[in-house]
Structure 1
Amino acid sequence: MQGIMTGKDILHKMKAKAGFGSSSADTGKGKSKLSKHITHGYHLVKGKSNHGMEDYVVAQFKKVNDNELGLFAIFDGHSGHDVADYLQSHLFDNILKEPDFWTEPECAITRAYFVTDTTILENAVDLGRGGSTAVTVILINGQKLLVANVGDSRAVICKNGEAIQLSVDHEPSKEKKSIEKRGGFVSNLPGDVPRVDGQLAVARAFGDKSLKRHLSSEPHVATQMVDDDTEFAILASDGLWKVMSNQEAVDSIKHIKDALPAAKHLTEEALNRRSTDDISCIVVRFH
């Protein structure tokens, strides 16, 4: 019935206010209170598939004790959106609950990814048998980036005009040996790209209970300091990266000073290049 706001509508508005987004076309922006020159903007556009939007975004600054954390993530769901939605609400909380996050952040992030994936698998009855890729970035006090990912959503920074990829695309063809050791196989059939057991086009992901024996949820984790040469960061789902190289993405927004118009420009450019997938993009500007 039109005119009545459902519980899901209220939840969506709460998420949007908090810096989370997921819809057919969603957008938002924010800035650091610690470093006023650090800003972010995000934009999502639904692809041309018959299913609903499966991308989810986190983009917010959060004060933790005496530190400011910038929390940025893109979750690209497949075979349903519930796993990506769960990640949006829980993954960063799980990371920050790790007791050694401040002393051994890379180990803490890896463990939190594992714990979160285990919970998803244990709740497959409610969350479904689908899965999600993830790329997460934690900006600590505007000075250090902690980047982690599973799957093919990607994080790229621009330093002195040069694109530098901080994440790793977990492609089945690159991890064929480890997949086969787990009893799986990689095949281009059916379809036109290598897939785990002929089904999934990424070698690492959250969820996917039916394939989990042959999949990994161990993230690639990297640390990057933010210096005077670091101009901005781009996080995006593969709906962007299928049609743009890292350097093309950087070059297309390097003269756009505002983060939100930059994120919108990238999604529009991906559409102009006939990307048919869901497209989600976050731009974080440092200077």
Structure 2
Amino acid sequence: MTAREILHKMKVKAGFSSVPPDTGKGKGKMLKHITHGFNLVKGKASHPMEDYLVSQFKQMDDKELGLFAIFDGHMGHDVANYLQLHLFENILKDPGFWTEPENAIRRAYDKTDGEILEKVPVLGKGGSTAVTAILINGQKLIVANVGDSRAVICKNGEAKQLSVDHDPGTEKREIERRGGFVSNIPGDVPRVDGQLAVARAFGDKSLKLHLSSEPYVDEMKIDDTTEFMILASDGLWKVMSNEEAVDSIKHIKDAQSAAKHLTEAAVTRKSKDDISCIVVRFQ
């Protein structure tokens, strides 16, 4: 059985469509004023689409969770696909999630990375960045990320980045401490061991000794001044600043239309990468 066939069976068992939609929308069942929409656009590369996402609400006992994530694969899409299926599952299964969510998320990121490395014969040697956001009862937002997929919130009309871009140039000392190096060739971006343009990622077995999967985690309260959140892969952020992205959709009340607007704007600005985007509106 091929890796693709195994992943297809895993997706069907997990209740996901075998062909994820390119666009969609939804809203909370308990908190109907919170809406979300997403849109994906394949880039110019000849390989298949490598971005995956999660955008949904989930009921757990008397709580409602909004689960949102962008997974940007590289050297193949299977690792990003695996993350789509299993990362939130591992987070929510952690017994400490409700009492110490930040530590639970860190443990789940580490556990999932270990699973991916164990499944290299099936998933291949590729990797994926990730940005995840968990909204608890519409009141608390917990964002985590590895790599350069990004979460940006609009609060009081201003853009605020909730994630951290894990750039090899910024984390050069840590990469070198692990025994790796950071290339900085003129005309190119800094790369771990001359290969990967992010300092943290899931998978990437050949670089793992020099590459971290430790997430940055941030937590914030949602209040009346919190307008909306954008999660997107670097296909958007390479061509658009946080402020430009926020300003361009302030007037668009439908979350799906806002996500489409952002992906289309990135294409117009000549982004050649895969572009995936989620917009969550709190008002």
TM-score class normalised by the smaller sequence = over 0.9
CA distance in 2, matches of 1:245, 1:15: 33
1:40–1:59 contact (8 Å) kept in structure 2: yes
- Cα separation, 2, equivalents of 1:161 and 1:245: 15
Contact 1:84–1:132 (CA under 8 A) maintained in structure 2: yes
Shift, 1:21, TM fit? 3.5
Paired residue secondary structure (2:16): helix
1:283 maps to: 279
Distance in structure 1 (CA, Å) of the matches to 2:117 and 2:91: 18
Post-superposition offset of 1:173 = 0.3
Corresponding residue of 1:4: none
Q: For residue 3 of structure 2, what is the aligned residue in structure 1?
A: none
* Offset from partner CA, 1:4-62 (integer Å, 9 cap, x none): xxx959949x5259xx936xxx0011000111110000000000001100000100000
Question: Could you state the TM-score of these two structures normalised by the residue count of structure 2?
Answer: 0.94
Say if 2:31 is the partner of 1:30: no
- Among residues 114, 117, 141, which one is paired with 1:121 in the alignment? 117
User: Match for 1:15: what amino acid?
Assistant: F
User: Which residue number corresponds to residue 77 of structure 2?
Assistant: 81
Q: Distance in 1 between matches of 2:67 and 2:86?
A: 12
1:279 partner letter: I
CA distance in 2, matches of 1:281, 1:225: 22
Match status 1:231 vs 2:227: yes
Correspondence 1:2-21 to 2 at 5 A: 8=8, 11=12, 15-16=16-17, 21=20
CA contact (8 A) 1:38 1:286 kept: yes
Report Cα offsets for 1:186-231 as digits up to 9, x if no partner.
0024960000000000000000000000000000000011000000
Change (3 A) 1:191 1:130: farther
Q: Give the aligned partner of residue 180 of structure 1.
A: 176
Partner AA of 1:101 in structure 2 = F
Counterpart AA for 2:16: K
Over residues 156-176 of structure 1, what are the superposed CA-to-partner deviations in whole Å (9 max), with x where a residue is unaligned?
A: 000111000000000000000
The answer for the alignment partner of 2:206 in structure 1 is: 210
Q: Which amino acid aligns with 1:50?
A: S
1:231-270 maps to which residues of 2 (within 5 A)?
Answer: 231-270=227-266
Whole-angstrom distance in 2 between the partners of 1:158 and 1:232 = 5
Deviating above 3 A after TM superposition, structure 1's stretches of 4 or more consecutive aligned residues are 7-12
Paired residues, number: 276
Q: Counterpart in 1 of 2:43?
A: 47
Give me the whole-angstrom Cα distance separating, in 2, the residues matched to 1:66 and 1:263. Answer: 30
Report the counterpart of residue 140 of structure 2 in structure 1.
144
Alignment correspondent of 1:158: 154
Distance 1:21 1:144 in 2: 28
Q: Distance in 2 between matches of 1:51 and 1:190?
A: 26
Structure 2: how far apart are the matches of 1:90 and 1:190? 39
CA RMSD of aligned residues (A): 1.9
TM-score by length of 1: 0.93
Which one of 89, 95, 104 corresponds to residue 99 of structure 1?
95
